Copies of this chain bind each other. A is one copy, B any other.
Amino acid sequence: METISFGQYDLIYNAFSFTFATMAAATLFFWFGRSQVADAYKTAMTVTGLVTAIAAYHYFRISQSWVEAHVVADGVVTASKLGFNDAYRYVDWFLTVPLLLVELILVMGLSRQETTSKAVRLGLLAALMVGLGYPGEIADTASGRWLWGGLSMIPFLWIVYELFVGLSRSVEQQPESARGLVKTAIWVTVLSWAFYPVVFFAGAIGLEGSTATTVVQVGYTIADIIAKAAFGVLIFMIAVRKSEADMGRAKTA
């Protein structure tokens, strides 16, 4: 087993704990916000909170697994016999990444038929993207990481195309007060998701041992906070503005 410094161990633990607290707080924020939006957007807020709730659960488990995988004695960290369960991340993404696209589609308020077809297509692509990434994450060789990571990029690029081209007409049909935010939400999705392969390939370009572990763990954590909690705040703001636009009353404030 690689050795890791106490500072690195501690930084990673605190990043996990921070993310648990952020995701749990975000969940409550979204579910409270549910009562502040029109009926048409309540399901979007439910799903937005589910994504962060699922992430909070996994970050709680990840931080537990991190502690159990190490023995700390007088500032020296050694590996325990248990090993760290990195698969929690992929299990989380397999559930939450399709749901993130569903949030976006739900808050856009497309026709019922379009909602179903786009949610199914984008959801399956997202699940495929995560599923193809996992064999690369656990691959022993850099070539394995490049192969599966490369395959995983195909559904990713397809999703990017669907978001920018497939949804462009629907974006233009959003009420003016929400249109800019919807565009921002699409950009946040693409840019924050593009951050995952950067972290993923950090393990394939020569970064090794405890430095790679720290970059990968802290990097994924930051990406998760942006892609789930910050993205969710945008979804809430879109839902509030569209609720106001639907009610036909311009807010005076």
Contact = CB atoms under 8 A, between A and B. Distances in A.
A25 B50 contact: yes
Contact of A21 (B22, B36, B91): B91
The quantity of this chain's copies bound in the complex is 2
Given A21-B57, A36-B39, A83-B75, A14 B91 contact: yes
Interface residues of A, number: 50
Contacts of A53: 24-25, 28
A87 interface: yes
Given A21-B58, A42-B36, A91-B21, A14 B50 contact: no
Interface string A30-59: 011111100110110011011001100110
Contacts of A40: 253
B94 A24 contact: no
A136 B243 CA distance: 46
A101 to B, nearest CB: 16
Nearest to A61: B17
A162 interface: no
A42 B236 CA distance: 14
A74 interface: yes
Interface string A58-80: 10010000000000111100000
A83 B91 contact: no
The 7 closest A-B pairs by CB, nearest first: A73-B81, A32-B46, A18-B91, A14-B87, A25-B50, A21-B54, A74-B81
Interface of A: 10, 13-14, 17-18, 21-22, 24-25, 28-29, 31-36, 39-40, 42-43, 46-47, 49-50, 53-54, 57-58, 61, 72-75, 81-83, 85, 87-88, 91-92, 94-95, 109-112, 251, 253
29 contacts: A10-B85, A13-B85, A14-B87, A14-B88, A17-B91, A18-B94, A18-B95, A21-B54, A21-B92, A22-B95, A24-B53, A24-B57, A25-B53, A25-B54, A28-B46, A28-B49, A28-B50, A29-B46, A32-B34, A32-B46, A33-B43, A33-B46, A40-B253, A72-B81, A72-B82, A72-B83, A73-B81, A110-B253, A111-B253
